[in-house]
């Protein structure tokens, strides 16, 4: 322990020998976060007309899956038609019994494939993407080198997202007070991640080389997608200085399937940028005219 406890935040704070939850936490998620898991109330999940049922919200992790589904449909895979039901994490929908039943970790997104008997639940965005890519034989190369490269970057994203979202995003945008040490710690790591991508994309069209894969779909909403939108840190981090990353980002943003997928299950944004639920391709018509 440090000897200068008066300089801690709050002054005099030192960690207890055994952590105990506080009675009151500040911040946007104060009434939701707990140290235990499991359902908090009974709430069955709705089921639509398609075999694939997605339960999600249009966060970066949610966008990964809806972008993939829209890309699969654009390729002509009719079996990728899906219903996307909103799980509003700001209201605690993720703790309903139905959702916890398919994802005990209570995090979006979660998918149920009703074409399987019994129906197959899949949770964790990376797992869902691999499942769908293998199920439809698209966006995941079979050749060992390209396949490994795709998995390298997919797993890289899964490991780095906590620093961007849970770290910088929380302390910059959601924490009840601004803590310089915490923001600087996570800003430095996020900048390093942006540099990793920029350096790689200087000599590669896409993350796995010359082909567009689930790795690109996974990384795009986070780096720098979340820094532009969810957390508003693009100026703070000078994201535009990563020219190779921005070339890649804008190229993917221009894809029609990406334009559709990023809208699904969004609850906030400018008019024409939110589609709370998606049950048919025609649901986009009013937004993407």
Please give the full DSSP string across 113-142, using - where no structure is assigned. ETTSSS-EEEESHHHHHHHHHHHHT-SS--
User: Residue 52's beta-bridge partner residues?
Assistant: 82, 113
Task: Give the tokens for residue 21.
Answer: 């939850």
Q: Are residues 192 and 229 in the same domain?
A: yes
Q: Are residues 208 and 269 in the same domain?
A: no
Q: Name the residue range of residue 85's domain.
A: 52-139+264-284
Contact (CB, 8 A) for 73 and 257: yes
Q: Are residues 195 and 238 in the same domain?
A: yes
**Looking at the domain assignment, is residue 61 inside a domain?**
yes
Q: Are residues 201 and 60 in the same domain?
A: no
Nearest to 259 by CA among 133, 43, 102, 70: 70
Determine the number of helices (DSSP H) and then strands (DSSP E) in the chain: 9, 4
d(CA 67, CA 129): 10
Q: Are residues 150 and 187 in the same domain?
A: yes
Number of domains in the chain: 2
Q: Tokens 């005099």 correspond to what residue? A: 12
Which pLDDT score, from 0 to 100, does residue 162 have?
Answer: 87
Q: Are residues 150 and 212 in the same domain?
A: yes
**Looking at the domain assignment, is residue 178 inside a domain?**
yes
**Looking at the domain assignment, is residue 36 inside a domain?**
no
d(CA 62, CA 109): 6
Which pLDDT score, from 0 to 100, does residue 5 have?
Answer: 73
Q: What is the CATH number of the domain that holds 179?
A: 1.20.1050.10
Which pLDDT score, from 0 to 100, does residue 1 have?
Answer: 47
Which pLDDT score, from 0 to 100, does residue 3 have?
Answer: 58
**Averaged in consecutive runs of 10 residues, what is the pLDDT profile of the chain (289 residues)?**
70 91 71 90 98 98 98 98 97 97 98 98 98 98 98 97 90 90 95 97 98 98 88 92 97 98 93 92 83
Q: Are residues 83 and 180 in the same domain?
A: no
């Amino acid at each position: 322990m440090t000897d200068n406890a008066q300089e801690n935040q709050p002054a005099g704070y030192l960690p207890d020998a055994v952590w105990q939850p506080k009675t009151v936490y500040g911040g946007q998620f104060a009434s939701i976060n707990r140290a235990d898991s499991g359902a908090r109330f009974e709430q069955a999940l709705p089921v639509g007309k398609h075999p694939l049922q997605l339960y999600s919200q249009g966060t970066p992790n949610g966008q990964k899956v809806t972008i993939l589904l829209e890309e699969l449909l654009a390729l002509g895979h009719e079996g990728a038609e899906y219903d996307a039901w909103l799980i509003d994490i700001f209201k605690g929908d993720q703790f309903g019994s139905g959702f916890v039943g398919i994802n005990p970790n209570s995090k979006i997104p979660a998918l149920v494939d009703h074409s399987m008997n019994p129906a197959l639940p899949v949770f964790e965005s990376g797992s869902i993407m691999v499942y769908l890519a293998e199920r439809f034989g698209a966006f995941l190369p079979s050749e060992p080198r390209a396949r490994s490269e795709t998995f390298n970057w997919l797993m890289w994203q899964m490991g780095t997202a906590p620093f961007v979202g849970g770290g910088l995003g929380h302390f910059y945008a959601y924490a009840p007070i601004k803590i310089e040490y915490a923001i600087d710690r996570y800003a430095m790591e996020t900048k390093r991640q942006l540099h990793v991508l920029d350096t790689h994309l200087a000599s590669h069209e896409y993350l796995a080389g010359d082909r567009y894969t689930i790795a690109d779909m996974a990384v795009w909403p986070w780096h720098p997608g979340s820094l532009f939108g969810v957390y508003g840190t693009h100026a703070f981090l000078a994201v535009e200085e990563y020219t190779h990353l921005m070339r890649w980002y804008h190229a993917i943003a221009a894809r029609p399937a990406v334009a559709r997928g990023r809208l699904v299950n969004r609850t906030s944004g400018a008019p024409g940028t939110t589609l709370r639920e998606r049950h048919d391709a025609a649901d986009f018509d009013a937004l993407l005219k």
